[in-house]
Amino acid sequence: MKQIILGGGCFWCTEAVFQRLKGVTQVTPGYAGGTTSDPDYYTVATGTTGHAEVIRVTYDETVVSLGYLLDIFFKTHDPTTLNQQGADRGTEYRSIIMYTGDSDLAIIHNAIASAQESYADPIVTEVVKNDVFYEAETEHKDYYLNNASQPYCQIRITPKIEKLQRILQDQRETN
């Protein structure tokens, strides 16, 4: 199994997207990229910890490639907005890819170059090597699965899931 850490706005949104992909065995929301030890949701939300809301995606590379996961990542959030996804604003919502192995770096850079072709504005996704990942509190795990009828989920997450379903349908029709 391999892992990649991704941040593309609220971790509830990215978790819900990646939980639906074949070959992904686990999606864990958390915090990474900052300087504060043992951050929590409320301190990260202040924007003073340097951490981003991220997900750790564990995947079976014999079923799904990192390149494919990154393609979905770039298609399901706006990587051209600095520290913002929709109404969620602040460094904790930045677009970020945190890799654990140097062998993934070329794949990441190729994915960014490929994704850039779909955007008029430059991609501002941060790419850094990850040192520490802090798991989010229990109430943030499987958030959409447990709270799909909540207004935030209906307004912000359901449209992302619908977009993912269209992407997957288009891929099935193309293949």
Residue 6: pLDDT band with limits 50, 70, 90: very high
Render pLDDT for 66-119 as a digit per residue (tens, 0 to 9): 999 999 999 999 999 999 998 899 999 999 999 988 999 999 999 999 999 999
Catalytic residue among 4, 10, 66, 164: 10
Q: Any residues with CB less than 8 A from the CB of 105 and at least 6 apart, and which?
A: 99, 127
pLDDT at position 175 over 80: no
Share of the chain above pLDDT 90, in %: 91
pLDDT at 166: 92
pLDDT tens track for 32-56:
999 999 999 999 999 999 999 999 9
Tally of structural domains, the chain: 1
Question: Domain range spanning residue 50?
Answer: 2-174
13 annotated active-site: no
Q: Is 50 left (phi over 0), alpha (psi -120 to 50) or beta?
A: left
pLDDT value for 116? 97
What is the pLDDT averaged over residues 167-173?
Answer: 88
Report pLDDT for 131. 82
Can you give the pTM of this predicted structure? 0.95
| 118-166 confidence digits (pLDDT tens) | 999 999 999 999 889 999 999 999 999 999 999 999 999 999 999 999 9
The confidence score (pLDDT) of residue 174 equals 82
For residue 141, the model assigns a pLDDT of 97
What CATH number did the domain enclosing 119 receive?
Answer: 3.30.1060.10
